[in-house]
Structure 1
Amino acid sequence: MEALQAEQVPEQAALLALDKIPVRNVWLLFLYASGLAQFRDRFEAEIEDSPDFKSLVARLLCFATEKRLRRNLSFGYRRREDVLRRVRGRIDVLESVSRDLFRRGEVACRFEELTLDTPRNQLVRAALERLSGWLVNEDLCHRCRTLAHALGRAGVSGTKPSRSEIAADQIARHEGEDRLMVSLAKAVFDLVLPTEQEGTRSLLKAQRDETAFRKLFEKAIGNFFAVELSRENGWRVFPGKQFKWPVAAASSGIGTYLPIMVTDIILENAPENRRIIIDTKFTNVLTASQYGGNRFKTDHIYQLYSYLRSQERSDDPLSLNSEGMLLYPSIGTDVDETAVVQGHSVRFVTIDLAQPSSTVVDRLRSLPMLSVLEQ
Structure 2
Amino acid sequence: MSTYGAIPLRNIWLLFLYAADMVQLRDRFDHDVEAARDLPELLGRLLTTVVDQRLRRNLSRGYRVRSATLSRVRGRIDLLETETRQLMDRGQIACSFDEHTMDTPRNRLVRAALDRLAGRITNADVAHRCRTASGDFGRLGVSATRPSRAEMATDQIGRNETADRFMVALATMVFDALIPSQAAGAVAGALPVDQEHLVRRLFERAVGNALRLQLAGEGWTVKQGRRIQWPCDQRTDGMASILPGMQTDIELNHIALGRRIVIDTKFTRIFTKSDYREAMLKSGYLYQMYAYLRTQELADDRASLCSEGILLHPQVGDAVDEAMAVQGHLMRAKTIDLMAIPSAFEAQLGGIIHTRNG
Please tell me the TM-score bracket, short chain as reference. over 0.9
SS in 2 for 1:251: coil
Contact 1:79 1:110 in 2 (8 A): yes
Q: How does 1:32-181 map to 2 (within 5 A)?
A: 32-181=18-167
Q: How does 1:1-375 map to 2 (within 5 A)?
A: 19-191=5-177, 204-205=191-192, 207=194, 209-230=195-216, 232-368=217-353, 370-373=354-357
Q: Which runs of 4+ in 1 moved over 6 A?
A: none
For 1:242 and 1:205, the matched residues in 2 are separated by 33
SS in 2 for 1:312: coil
Larger CA deviation: 33-42 vs 298-307:
33-42
Larger CA deviation: 76-85 vs 62-71:
76-85
Larger CA deviation: 185-194 vs 36-45:
185-194
TM-score, structure 2 normalization: 0.92
For 1:227 and 1:100, the matched residues in 2 are separated by 63
Q: How far is the alpha carbon of 1:156 from its aligned partner?
A: 1.6
For 1:203 and 1:228, the matched residues in 2 are separated by 33
What is the one-letter code of the residue matched to 2:277? G
Larger CA deviation: 329-338 vs 82-91:
329-338
For 1:77 and 1:55, the matched residues in 2 are separated by 33
For 1:260 and 1:123, the matched residues in 2 are separated by 33
Q: How far is the alpha carbon of 1:134 from its aligned partner?
A: 0.8
Q: How far is the alpha carbon of 1:206 from its aligned partner?
A: 5.3
Q: How far is the alpha carbon of 1:303 from its aligned partner?
A: 0.7
Q: How far is the alpha carbon of 1:53 from its aligned partner?
A: 1.9
Q: How far is the alpha carbon of 1:203 from its aligned partner?
A: 7.0
Q: How far is the alpha carbon of 1:123 from its aligned partner?
A: 1.5
Q: How far is the alpha carbon of 1:251 from its aligned partner?
A: 2.3
Alignment CA distance shift 1:78-1:371 (3 Å): same
Larger CA deviation: 111-120 vs 59-68:
111-120
Larger CA deviation: 246-255 vs 114-123:
246-255
SS in 2 for 1:187: helix
What is the one-letter code of the residue matched to 2:295? S
Larger CA deviation: 236-245 vs 292-301:
236-245
What is the one-letter code of the residue matched to 1:348? A
TM-score, structure 1 normalization: 0.88
Larger CA deviation: 295-304 vs 123-132:
123-132
How many residue pairs get matched?
A: 351
Contact 1:133 1:141 in 2 (8 A): yes
Q: How far is the alpha carbon of 1:227 from its aligned partner?
A: 2.3
What is the one-letter code of the residue matched to 1:276? I
Q: How far is the alpha carbon of 1:332 from its aligned partner?
A: 3.8
In the alignment, what sits opposite 2:184? none
For 2:253 and 2:10, the matched residues in 1 are separated by 30
For 1:243 and 1:337, the matched residues in 2 are separated by 26
For 1:191 and 1:267, the matched residues in 2 are separated by 29
Where in structure 1 are there 5+ consecutive unaligned residues? 1-16, 196-201
For 1:108 and 1:317, the matched residues in 2 are separated by 66
For 2:190 and 2:321, the matched residues in 1 are separated by 26
For 1:276 and 1:193, the matched residues in 2 are separated by 36
For 2:176 and 2:155, the matched residues in 1 are separated by 17
Higher relative contact order (CA 8 A, sep 6+): 1
For 2:60 and 2:17, the matched residues in 1 are separated by 22
Alignment CA distance shift 1:161-1:155 (3 Å): same
